[in-house]
């Protein structure tokens, strides 16, 4: 913080004391247990001033954007700490008789979070089931990370984590949810997955109060597939009369509401899960983006739609990972998509508002290698009869020449 931003009383003190001949100590601020804590913990700020010959100080605590002293203790404790306590703090000291004063300490920043944040596959619970399965534990050396060494479709699920610190232990609230989708690698092109979740209208974001259809399209014509969903309230639900109607392998929501936002997938009677899809129901502006991952080399088209405009297409700004990438256009087209285009996309209209963010995934195409292998194999098989005949003819010719030479030598 610049000197001009400090409270007036500190400015006056600094100006008066700038000409003092004694060495001016500088306080050091510490925060326990850490500068980044979670709501509900006990947090202590401490101001330490080391100066020769001074055993007693009067302390003054200041917070960024505050004009007055909020504490005069060497240690100030927040118990429990809340999000409103987050901010930048600094302290100042003066001798009891005001004959000596300290400098102003450096700022320290206190951050208070409501939830643990899961990043880079640091998930620790799978809430795809009615119960939670503990996957990792820091007491077993996992720390804040959880790694799947050999990912398989069975690891598909909605993951969350929770942190614990101190003795007695303090637990954070459950983190934001994270969908992890693991699909099997298809070696040869033309082989279809057992089932696909078909969403109609075909997009991840949907308006409120409209009809939404989700259908499990089975390539093997088998039965027993049902649509299930998971919402942020930790609820795992089958398509039923409560929120939809199931007909065969199709689930229909007659009138969508924001409550319908969640992860949807197809599940078999044996518990196999396929093609989980994030569905967002939003009032107002939405982003029209593909339901399933885009394959490298394909064309990606995004549109910004408004529930109350006719036609619904808006001329809007488009964002990727929070950064503006194209402005004032009715649709954004990305030709020849690559892995670099993966990210969170959204759109914004200056008057109508902003859409939610949708993750767009890009898959690598493996069709080239199998086609080349098949082509080479078929070519070899096609020419092999001719090669065999040629070898036989050459062998016969060689035998005839050898026999002719032997006959000539015998005659001589």
Q: Are residues 269 and 303 in the same domain?
A: yes
Confidence of residue 404 (pLDDT cuts 50, 70, 90): low
**Which residue reads 């700490």 in tokens?**
81
Residue 387 host element (H or E): helix 368-411
Angle, CA 50 vertex, CA 8 and CA 102 arms, to 5°? 15
Q: Is residue 120 part of a domain?
A: no
Q: Are residues 137 and 271 in the same domain?
A: no
* Domain end among 73, 89, 113: 113
For 263-266, which contacts have Cβ atoms below 8 Å and span 24 or more sequence positions?
263/158, 263/177, 263/179, 263/229, 263/230, 264/197, 264/199, 264/214, 264/227, 264/228, 264/229, 265/156, 265/197, 265/227, 265/228, 265/229, 266/195, 266/196, 266/197, 266/216, 266/225, 266/226, 266/227, 266/228
Pick from 299, 238, 298, 289: which is nearest to 264 by CA? 238
Q: Are residues 35 and 84 in the same domain?
A: yes
| Chain mean pLDDT for the chain | 76
Q: Are residues 216 and 356 in the same domain?
A: yes
Q: Are residues 100 and 12 in the same domain?
A: yes
Confidence of residue 179 (pLDDT cuts 50, 70, 90): low
* Domain end among 79, 113, 147: 113
Number of domain units in the chain: 4
Q: Are residues 161 and 103 in the same domain?
A: no
* Domain end among 180, 206, 221: 180
Which residues share a beta bridge with 95? 57
Q: Are residues 30 and 64 in the same domain?
A: yes
Q: Is the pLDDT of residue 237 over 80?
A: yes
Backbone angles phi, psi at 279, to 5 degrees: -115, 130
Residue 37 host element (H or E): strand 36-38
Q: Is residue 368 part of a domain?
A: no
Q: Are residues 227 and 327 in the same domain?
A: yes
Q: What pLDDT is stored for residue 238 in this prediction?
A: 86
Candidate from 46-50, 175-179, 291-295 with smallest mean pLDDT: 175-179
Q: Is residue 185 part of a domain?
A: no
Q: Are residues 352 and 205 in the same domain?
A: yes
Q: Are residues 355 and 396 in the same domain?
A: no
Is pTM beyond 0.85? Reply is no
CB-based contact 306:314 (threshold 8 Å):
yes
Expressed as residue numbers, the domain containing 129 is 125-180
- CATH number, residue 95: 2.60.40.10
Q: What is the pLDDT of residues 191-233, one digit of tens each?
A: 455 688 899 999 999 999 999 999 988 766 556 788 888 876 5
Candidate from 76-80, 304-308, 369-373 with smallest mean pLDDT: 369-373
Q: Is residue 11 part of a domain?
A: yes
Q: Is residue 254 part of a domain?
A: yes
DSSP state of 106: P
Q: Is residue 189 part of a domain?
A: no
Q: Are residues 289 and 249 in the same domain?
A: yes
Q: Is residue 188 part of a domain?
A: no
Q: Average pLDDT for residues 25-54, to the nearest whole number?
A: 89
Q: Is residue 22 part of a domain?
A: yes
Confidence of residue 368 (pLDDT cuts 50, 70, 90): very low
Q: Average pLDDT for residues 285-303, to the nearest whole number?
A: 94
Q: Are residues 285 and 323 in the same domain?
A: yes
Candidate from 30-44, 345-359, 395-409 with smallest mean pLDDT: 395-409
């Amino acid at each position: 913080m610049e000197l001009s931003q400090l409270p007036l009383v500190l400015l006056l003190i600094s100006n008066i004391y700038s000409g003092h001949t004694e060495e001016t100590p500088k306080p050091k601020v510490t925060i326990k247990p850490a500068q980044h804590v979670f709501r509900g913990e006990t947090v202590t700020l401490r101001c330490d001033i080391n100066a020769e010959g001074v055993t007693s100080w009067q302390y003054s605590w200041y917070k960024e954007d505050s004009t007055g002293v909020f504490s005069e203790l060497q240690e100030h404790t927040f118990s429990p700490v809340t999000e409103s306590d987050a901010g930048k703090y600094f302290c100042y000291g003066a001798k009891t008789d005001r004959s000596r004063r300290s400098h102003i300490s450096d700022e320290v920043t206190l951050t208070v979070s409501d939830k643990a944040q899961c990043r880079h596959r640091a998930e620790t619970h799978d809430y795809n089931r009615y119960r939670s399965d503990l996957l990792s534990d820091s007491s077993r050396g996992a720390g804040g990370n959880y790694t799947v060494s050999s990912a398989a479709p069975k690891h598909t699920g909605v993951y969350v984590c929770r942190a614990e610190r101190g003795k007695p232990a303090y637990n954070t609230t459950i983190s934001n949810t994270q969908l992890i989708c693991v699909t099997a690698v298809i070696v040869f092109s033309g082989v279809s997955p057992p089932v696909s979740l078909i969403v109609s209208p075909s997009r991840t974001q949907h308006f409120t109060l409209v009809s939404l259809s989700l259908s499990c399209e089975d390539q093997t014509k088998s039965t027993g597939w049902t649509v299930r969903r998971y919402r942020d309230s930790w609820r795992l639900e089958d398509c039923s009369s409560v929120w939809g109607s199931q007909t065969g392998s199709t689930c229909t929501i007659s009138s969508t509401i924001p409550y319908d936002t969640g992860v949807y997938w197809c599940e078999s009677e044996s518990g196999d899960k396929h093609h989980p899809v994030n569905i967002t129901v939003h009032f107002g502006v939405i982003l029209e983006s593909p339901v399933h991952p885009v394959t490298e080399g394909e064309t990606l088209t995004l549109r910004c739609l408004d529930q109350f405009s006719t036609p619904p297409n808006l001329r809007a700004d488009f964002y990727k990972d929070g950064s503006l990438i194209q402005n004032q256009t009715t649709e954004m087209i990305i030709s020849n998509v690559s892995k670099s285009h993966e990210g969170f996309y959204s759109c914004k209209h200056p008057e109508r508002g902003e859409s939610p963010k949708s993750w767009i995934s890009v898959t690598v195409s493996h069709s080239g290698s199998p086609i080349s292998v098949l082509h080479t194999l078929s070519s070899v098989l096609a020419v092999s009869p001719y090669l065999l005949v040629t070898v036989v003819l050459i062998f016969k010719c060689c035998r005839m020449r050898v026999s002719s030479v032997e006959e000539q030598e015998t005659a001589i």
